[in-house]
Amino acid sequence: MKRIVFLLVAVATLAGVVAFTAPAPGSADQQAAPVFGIKIFPGYRDWRLISVAHEAGNLNDLRAILGNDVAINAYRAGKLPFPDGTAIARLAWSYVPSEENNKVFGRSQSFVPGSPTDWYLQFMVKDSKKYAATGGWGFAQFDKDGKPADEAMHKTCFPCHEPAKASDLVFTHYAP
């Protein structure tokens, strides 16, 4: 595994892409989330954009949904189910008004990301064998310091995603 990561870093450097330098919580020796055993993907902040969203109500956040290459290719091909190796990250920040922007617009209309939310980071990872009991998906949730949620919380992921069966348990659509 280490060899593969080193190879990727070398190739990424060749390509002029600065990977694995995101100011991300978590690192190689980071704690795995319970139930599904997923760790924070070190390069997730460099993944490409799937979509964005605003969750109002109690969550009151702005969020970005990013995907690794397998995820992005699957979304663009429009084929379901997602193939093994798909990884999707959900990042969330508090929803705050931007006084700086509002001054320029001349009215109160601009909302931007504040601090990372308490449950800043979530992953969905496709492995149809390993996660056969949960529709082929593993789920993980981490707080803003990279600490995983507990087992009880991780057991709520699959039932909550089940209504999205028609889109292979994934709520987020690709933003054109």
Residue 156 in the binding site for a copy of itself (CB under 8 A): no
Distances (CA, A) of 77 to 14, 116, 135, 166: 28, 31, 21, 16
Q: What x-and-dash track marks residues 113-142 binding a copy of itself by CB under 8 A?
A: x-xx--------------------------
Give the Å distances, CA to CA, from 50 to 67, 82, 129.
6, 14, 25
Are 108 and 137 within 8 A, CB to CB? Answer: no
Max alpha carbon distance in the chain (Å)? 55
Q: Which of 34, 83, 111, 147 binds a copy of itself (CB under 8 A)?
A: 111
Q: What residues contact 168, with CB distance under 8 A and at least 6 apart?
A: 80, 81, 82, 135, 136
Q: Of these, 6, 48, 118, 151, which contacts a copy of itself (CB under 8 A)?
A: 48
For residue 29, the minimal CB distance to a copy of itself (Å) is: 22
**Which positions lie near a copy of itself, rule CB under 8 A?**
8, 11-12, 14-18, 21-23, 45-49, 51-59, 62-64, 66, 69, 72-73, 76, 91, 93, 95, 98, 100-101, 103-105, 107-113, 115-116, 160, 163-164, 171-173, 175-176
